Amino acid sequence: MQSLKPSFRSLPRRFRILMVRVGVSNFVFNMNPYNSIYVLALGASATQLGLLTSIGTGVSAAFSVLTGWISDRWDRKTMFLIGAALGILVPTIYLLAPSMVWLIPAFILYGVSDGILQPPWSALYANSVKNENRGAFYGIANFFTLMPTLFAGLVGGAIVASSGGLNAEGIRPVYLAQASLLIFSFLFVLRFLEREDKPRAPFDFSVKNMVEDYRRIMRNRGVRSWVLMKSLGSVSIGLADPFWMLYAAVVHKASAMTMAYMVTVRTVTNIVLSPIAGKYVDRFGRKKMIISGRGVMYLATIVFIIFGGEPYLLLAWVLMGVNDATGIAWSAKEVELVDEEDRSKITALSHASFNSLAVPASILGGFLWDSVSPIAPFLIMMIIDGGIRMQVIHKFVPESNNSSKHEPAHETL
């Protein structure tokens, strides 16, 4: 821990404040791996779950393109707070929902909130550190922001176990805890986060200006390939995403506490490895770490879908934690494709492209689960992610050069 102190103290105040918000958000997310089970308990089928998920991701994609551009031209803190305020309403609706129909506005609001706050948050975070040590600083940040989540899964599991188990009434109190924590993080950011200097470009809303800005960004070397790669994310990672814990519960008969332990061991692995992964990201490059992490994730998926029993589920989630630690490389590579003033926009492009096929992907995921096999979403995920997305990164996305300037595109893709 002593070796981390100087680097932590050297982080800008804005970065540390954002770390608090990230830590709370991570805790909120990790304390509730039961969301899919809750939706089904309120009467939805797996296909309807996929459709509801697609609604949220589709709305998020649409909003992010607009709000990413506004964030770079206007005020990132204000945009961030608008998105965070809307996000508080999501667990509140889940808490009060008597049936599946009530969840439709929750999924829509989640999409709006996510689309608004992700671009400014990414830019605020990235612009606080320099390219050459971004991996190391992100690794240190992950160490501290993930630490509060160490017991998040256990807290969520204990709430569910003491409230009636894996059913709607047992899971419902978790949403009250989530809403309370999100209110705290909103007030904290509102009070302590300082506003940035005014953006370089004057804010003058115009669809023409927005289109021209995005066209300019797409001319940066590697951006088009990155956007293409991210667009396939929803038919790979996103397709399988709603079904991990559902598979554990339905196929492997995992209990609420087993799933809580899974979340915990994954988080511990990520916490322990993040500072090391951050240094490796700076030393060996973003691309190598991205591709290596994915190989570990595919191994984890194979263990997860084939072997039953708590030890194997925990092993699979430890391996998932190894892959999670390499997420630093994804975050660093993406923002380094453009200059500082464009980082909300590159996040918006990435976010929108990932969710561009969300509607058909989510419907396909539900269909595969209901009509083909519960294993099918995970197999399709590995084929598309490993066979196409990683190949695009390897062949067409340049390695970061730690420079503040970016070359125009010379891509054949």
Write down the pLDDT at residue 2.
44
pTM to 2 decimal places: 0.76
* pLDDT above 60 (res 402): no
Determine, yes or no, domain membership for 214: yes
If one counts every other C-beta atom within 10 angstroms of the C-beta of residue 99, the result is 10
Determine, yes or no, domain membership for 402: no
Determine, yes or no, domain membership for 202: no
For residue 20, the enclosing domain spans: 2-192+207-396
Write down the pLDDT at residue 5.
46
- Out of 99-108, 125-134, 213-222, pick the least confident: 125-134
Determine, yes or no, domain membership for 413: no
Write down the pLDDT at residue 274.
92
Write down the pLDDT at residue 410.
44
* pLDDT above 60 (res 204): yes
CA pair distance 345, 217, nearest whole angstrom: 8
Kindly state the average pLDDT of the residues 314-335: 94
With CA atoms as reference, report the closest residue to 287 among 338, 225, 342.
Answer: 225
Write down the pLDDT at residue 159.
92
φ, ψ (nearest 5 deg) of residue 402:
60, 20
Which H helix or E strand runs over 266?
A: helix 256-284
Determine, yes or no, domain membership for 200: no
Return the structure tokens found at 363: 């419907």
* pLDDT above 90 (res 393): yes
Work out the burial of residue 339: count CB atoms within 10 Å of its CB; fewer than 13 is exposed, 13-18 middle, 19 or more buried: middle
If one counts every other C-beta atom within 10 angstroms of the C-beta of residue 371, the result is 10
- From residue 197, give the alpha-carbon distance in Å to each of 56, 164, 412: 32, 51, 38
Determine, yes or no, domain membership for 408: no
Question: Which residue stretches of 31-75 are H helix?
Answer: 35-41, 46-73
How many domains does one find in the chain? Answer: 1
Determine, yes or no, domain membership for 405: no
If one counts every other C-beta atom within 10 angstroms of the C-beta of residue 225, the result is 20
Determine, yes or no, domain membership for 323: yes
* pLDDT above 50 (res 314): yes
* pLDDT above 50 (res 386): yes
CATH of the domain at 243: 1.20.1250.20
- Which stretch, 68-72, 247-251, 299-303, has highest mean pLDDT? 299-303
